[in-house]
Structure 1
Amino acid sequence: MKQTARLLHASSFGAAAGAYAEHRPDYAPAAVRWALEPAPGPRVLDLGAGTGKLTGTLVALGADVIAVERDPAMLTELRRTLPAVRALSGSAEAIPLPDASVDAVLAGNALHWFDMAVAGPEIARVLAPGGILAGLWNVLDDRVDWVAGLERVSGSAGIGPRDTFSNWRAATVGLHLPDAGLVAEFGSPEQVEFPHGQRRTADSLVATIATRAGVLVMPEQEREATLSRIRAFLASRPETASGEFTLPMLTGVLRVRQR
């Protein structure tokens, strides 16, 4: 994605902060535990924290969490939901923390929005020796037939390569290493998935897809056409046509350790 398009997509979420907080899933606790397993201590930075979906899981696991988010509307939602968490305005490219102040930096569905040529050295700066950088993504299990059909109907704007089990590893494995300079900072990446099925209705699943950046930046007519097409597909499938169902999902983790 070109820089201008990336910035447009990355800045789209604030307008839908309330819907994002209501409909986006949290993260599998087992995935978060695995991400933090080698961290040298309990201090965790949730970077690009959004409305606090990952922050809440970190708090529940007993981590000492600081959340950093650049979008004011998203940050407001986070502070409303998790008032006890220290939540700061800032970005991956300008982290408002001192050197070596955290043991792990985690990013939930956010690492791909960072300009890692700038953010990589910043992350390395705030990490204590041996610290962990981990990106987490909630991905659809497109090995399930109807989920693969949903992907086709939604198009890449609704469900992109990072959003499916089949593609997320290839789409994310190099995100922490944009240039040779960072190779010396971090070790080899590890990637693992953890089951994280979500209870949904057709309406709530459509509302979730509507909070994706590719949909948020669509012209209104195109967005409504896309969401209508998804509703029609869900109404046509016996798995999703009536009542609640389990959306097959996993939380994928990309983990690297600072040398």
Structure 2
Amino acid sequence: MDDGLEELRRLTATIRESEARRTHIVGRLRGERAASWDEIGQACGMTRQGATRRWSRSLHAASFGSVAGAYHRGRPTYPVSAVEWVVPRGARRVLDLGAGTGKFTELLTAAGLTVVAVEPSAEMRSRITVDAEILAGTGERVPLPDHSVDAIVCAQAWHWVDPARAVPEMARVLRPGGTLSLVWNVRDHAEPWVAALDDVLRRHTRDEIDTEPVLGEPFGPPERTEIRWRHVLSRAALLDMVQSRSYVIVLPADERRDLLADVTELLDRQGFGAEIVLPYVTRCSRFHALR
């Protein structure tokens, strides 16, 4: 029995290594425009749909490192009231999962919390400058001991994880009764020019992010709130925000150039100068661990 288990462990390690290598090759082929999804699917014994389902999301998630600077300059911060709502009053040690360049990390440390920032991209991690423990990791594999944090916050990143694997991992690192909070900044489409901006951006993606997920056990039912606020940024920062979207990063250079030209034309039509006020809705979901 022990020999069989050891053989299974070795085989699992080999499969993981091979899968990581395969993902790397797929990423290189797509990044260099050297193969279509049809060709990749055929090489892997899959359909085109199967190949895109298997790798498209992970490649988009991995693309952020190449634009870490634009991401940090263009992405908005979050309202301080969001921090007050998502982190329980008695929490002391908080995990910022998918920390990116540290937008939410900065607010957590400013609130006097001890913060562990976990982010898979080395380029993104290098932009985090606040006093926090900074670790490489993902929602499916968090490099922390069991029951080691009072709360977890995942801002603008939960849609990149596999919930089937991430939910048990969150429960593992949380202390009993701890809280997992998910946060998204969403542009407020009630503003006509923002709706027009999103029409331009949606020409290049059909993805709709679920900002009201249900996790299930071992977490209780969700509590939700929305916070409306306005983010002031420069025209250059708004274009950085557009360039930092995953679906824009992976566009061919000519399509990306055309998209940015369309956004610039929209800003010109609106008569925006150097400063732009962009309305946001911050959507927060809070889940309490049942055990």
TM, length-normalised to structure 1: 0.87
| SS at structure 1 position matched to 2:127 | helix
Superposition CA RMSD, Å = 1.8
Tell me whether 1:233 sits opposite 2:272 in the alignment: no
Q: How does 1:26-175 map to 2 (within 5 A)?
A: 26-37=77-88, 40-78=90-128, 81-82=129-130, 84-155=131-202, 157=204, 161-162=208-209, 171-174=210-213
Identify the match of residue 249 of structure 1 among 273, 280, 283. Answer: 280
* Matching residue's letter, 2:185: N
Tell me the distance in 2 between the aligned counterparts of 1:49 and 1:58: 11
Deviation at 1:214, TM superposition (A): 1.0
Deviation at 1:2, TM superposition (A): 2.6
* Matching residue's letter, 1:197: R
| SS at structure 1 position matched to 2:236 | helix
* Matching residue's letter, 1:223: R
* Matching residue's letter, 1:172: T
Deviates more, 1:243-252 or 1:85-94: 243-252
Match of 2:31 in 1: none
Match of 1:8 in 2: 59
Structure 1 contact 158–212 (Cα < 8 Å) conserved: no
Structure 2 contact 74–239 (Cα < 8 Å) conserved: no
Give the 3 Å change call, closer, same or farther, for CA 41–205 of structure 1 in structure 2: same
Deviates more, 1:202-211 or 1:90-99: 202-211
Gaps of 5+ in 1: 163-170, 178-182
Percentage of pairs with the same residue: 40
CA-to-partner distance for each residue in 1:179-199, whole Å, 9 max, x for gaps?
xxxx22011112211123111
Deviation at 1:23, TM superposition (A): 1.9
Tell me the distance in 1 between the aligned counterparts of 2:181 and 2:204: 25
Q: Which structure is larger by alpha-carbon Rg, 1 or 2?
A: 2
* Matching residue's letter, 1:50: G
Q: Structure 1 or 2: larger helix share?
A: 2
Find runs of 4+ consecutive structure 1 residues off by over 4 angstroms.
156-160
Deviation at 1:231, TM superposition (A): 0.8
RCO higher in structure (CA 8 A, sep ≥6) = 1
Give the 3 Å change call, closer, same or farther, for CA 66–133 of structure 1 in structure 2: same
Deviation at 1:9, TM superposition (A): 0.8
CA-to-partner distance for each residue in 1:35-84, whole Å, 9 max, x for gaps?
113x6522100011111111001011111111111111111111xx22x2
Gaps of 5+ in 2: 1-51
Tell me the distance in 1 between the aligned counterparts of 2:267 and 2:205: 14
Tell me whether 1:199 sits opposite 2:238 in the alignment: no
TM, length-normalised to structure 2: 0.78
